[in-house]
Every structure is written in structure tokens, then in C-alpha cells.
């Protein structure tokens, strides 16, 4: 099962060994700091590789980023016009790693639908697959992953502000998505897993949301955590503290 983190209030496991494979042709260098911060929430990046034709000047911006994060560049010449040799190399390496390394999951960083079958194949082998790509990423690739994070939320200009030490009510940051938040989906999940008093554990709600919608991320709608988003819609939801540090939530619309 995928670790739950994105915009939820549950704590992911940090001892998981992950392979991070980056498609340089479809990934901007400016998101990499945020990328590895995000990956650290899921586990340890034991393998870090990036694929591209490094003889091309358009990939020159990667040099300092690779050194900073100890990412191994894999050279792949573009032998034929119109054929993506980078994708092929990345897929072959992923399958080699699957059978030669003791890994718990893969982080596939690309906005390319060519990795849809790879993601599905890795999951068939019991691997957890985290996808990272831009909002333009085709739906089949998103759906093939256990969890998909849009890289727009990793950029500093879209990062939610730290409200620690400030007012208890969080101030939403500018949303990345132009779509309305999926309030009905959240309400449906709460209703499905709630107890006889209609209350549900918020962490469990977050896990079920990720299963139903792999790209669910409250940061897309300007909220750092799921609890912040719930509090922003008092006509939809009621929230209260549970036992220990847990939070409970119920729907107000049926």
C-alpha cells in the first residue's frame, strides 16, 4: 500500500527503500529540491538516476542539481528522430532494478504516458509506485500509480505558507488547480468508513482518498493538509479531536 502523505495528516513510513528514475526530457530542474523533500516522506531514495541525452544544450541546467542531490546521469543518445530512446532506457533499468535490488517502491518522474505500462507492471510485482509529473500528465499514467504528485505543488511559488506560531485558522495559499475541490468525494469517503455516530478518522480518510484518486492532493487547492481543507468548508464538514493526536471528521451533507 502506498504511503499516505500528500495533504493528509497521517505519518508515512520512512524506512522504505526507493528507486528514483527521472526523465530529464520531461522534468524541469527547478522542481528537484522539492521533489526529493517529497520523496523523503515516503522513504529513502536508495537509487537516484536521471535519463537523457546530455550532449544536448537544453539539459545543461541539470549539472549543479545533479551534484547537489548525488543523482547519477545516464547517457542515452537519440539515435532516431521521433523515437524516445530515453524512455526505453529508463524502462529497461526499472525492470533490471526490480529483479536485482531489494526495493519497496519506485518513483517515476515524468509527464509522459509511455510509462503507464511500466507503473502497472511494477505494481503487479508488489512494488509501490509514486508518480511525479506536470498537470498535463495523461490520466492513464496517473491512474497506474499508487500515488501521483503534480510537480507544480513542489515549486516554491506554490508552496503553502508555514502557519506555525500564527493564528490557528490556516490561510490558504494560491491554488494550483483551476478545478473546484472534490468535496463530494471526500464526503463519500467519510460516509463509507464512518462509525455508527458518523465520525471517521481523518488519517484513514486520507488513505482512502489516495486509493480512490491517486492524484488527490490538498495542496492543489491551496491547503497544506487535509485537516486545513476540512476546516475551510464548515458547511460541509465537522471536525474534532479524537483520542491522542487523532482527528475525527463527519459530513454535514447527506
Count CB neighbours of 133 within 10 A.
26
CATH code of domain 183-251: 3.30.420.610
CATH code of domain 17-156: 3.40.50.1010
d(CA 236, CA 250): 9
What confidence category does residue 161 fall into, taking pLDDT thresholds of 50, 70 and 90? very low
State how far Cα 144 lies from the chain centre. Answer: 13
pTM: 0.80
> Domain-by-domain residue ranges, the chain?
17-156, 183-251
Cα–Cα nearest to 86, from 124, 56, 60: 56
Q: What is the mean pLDDT of the chain?
A: 86
d(CA 85, CA 236): 49
Higher local confidence (pLDDT), 12 or 187:
187
Q: What percent of the chain has pLDDT over 70?
A: 81
What confidence category does residue 166 fall into, taking pLDDT thresholds of 50, 70 and 90? very low
Higher local confidence (pLDDT), 123 or 76:
123
Looking at residue 111, its pLDDT comes to 94
Residues 6+ apart with CB under 8 A from 181: 218, 221, 229, 233
**Per residue in 186-213, pLDDT tens?**
999 999 999 999 999 999 999 999 999 9
Q: Which three cell numbers stand for residue 162?
A: 508555514
d(CA 31, CA 107): 14
Sign of the CA dihedral running 117, 40, 30, 94: negative
**What dihedral angle (degrees, nearest 10) is formed by the CA atoms of 63, 75, 72, 11?**
100
Query: Using alpha carbons only, what angle is made at residue 55 by residues 51 and 59, rounded to the nearest 5 degrees?
Result: 60
Look up cell 528514475; give the residue.
Answer: 21
Q: β-pairing, 247-251 with 237-241?
A: antiparallel
Cα–Cα nearest to 110, from 137, 76, 143: 137
Amino acid at each position: 500500500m502506498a504511503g499516505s502523505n500528500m495533504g493528509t495528516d497521517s505519518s508515512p513510513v520512512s524506512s522504505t527503500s526507493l528507486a528514483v528514475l527521472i526523465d530529464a526530457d520531461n522534468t524541469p530542474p527547478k522542481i528537484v529540491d522539492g521533489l526529493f523533500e517529497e520523496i523523503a516522506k515516503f522513504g529513502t531514495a536508495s537509487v537516484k538516476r536521471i535519463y537523457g541525452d546530455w550532449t544536448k544544450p537544453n539539459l545543461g541546467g541539470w549539472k549543479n542539481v545533479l551534484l547537489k542531490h548525488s543523482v547519477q546521469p545516464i547517457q542515452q543518445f537519440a539515435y532516431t528522430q521521433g523515437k524516445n530512446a530515453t524512455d526505453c532506457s529508463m524502462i529497461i533499468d526499472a525492470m533490471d532494478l526490480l529483479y536485482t535490488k531489494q526495493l519497496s517502491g519506485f518513483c517515476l518522474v515524468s509527464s509522459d504516458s509511455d510509462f503507464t505500462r511500466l507503473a502497472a507492471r511494477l505494481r503487479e510485482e508488489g512494488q509501490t509506485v509514486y508518480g511525479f509529473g506536470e498537470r498535463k500528465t495523461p490520466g492513464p499514467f496517473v491512474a497506474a500509480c499508487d500515488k501521483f504528485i503534480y510537480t507544480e505543488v513542489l515549486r516554491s511559488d506554490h508552496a503553502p505558507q508555514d502557519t506555525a506560531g500564527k493564528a490557528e485558522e490556516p490561510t490558504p495559499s494560491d491554488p494550483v488547480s483551476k478545478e473546484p475541490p472534490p468535496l463530494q468525494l471526500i464526503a463519500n469517503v467519510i460516509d463509507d468508513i464512518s462509525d455508527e455516530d458518523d465520525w471517521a478518522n481523518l488519517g484513514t480518510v486520507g488513505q482512502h482518498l489516495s486509493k480512490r484518486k491517486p492524484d488527490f492532493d490538498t495542496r492543489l487547492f491551496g491547503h497544506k493538509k487535509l485537516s486545513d481543507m476540512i476546516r475551510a468548508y464548515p458547511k460541509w464538514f465537522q471536525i474534532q479531536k479524537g483520542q491522542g493526536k487523532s482527528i475525527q471528521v463527519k459530513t454535514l451533507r447527506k
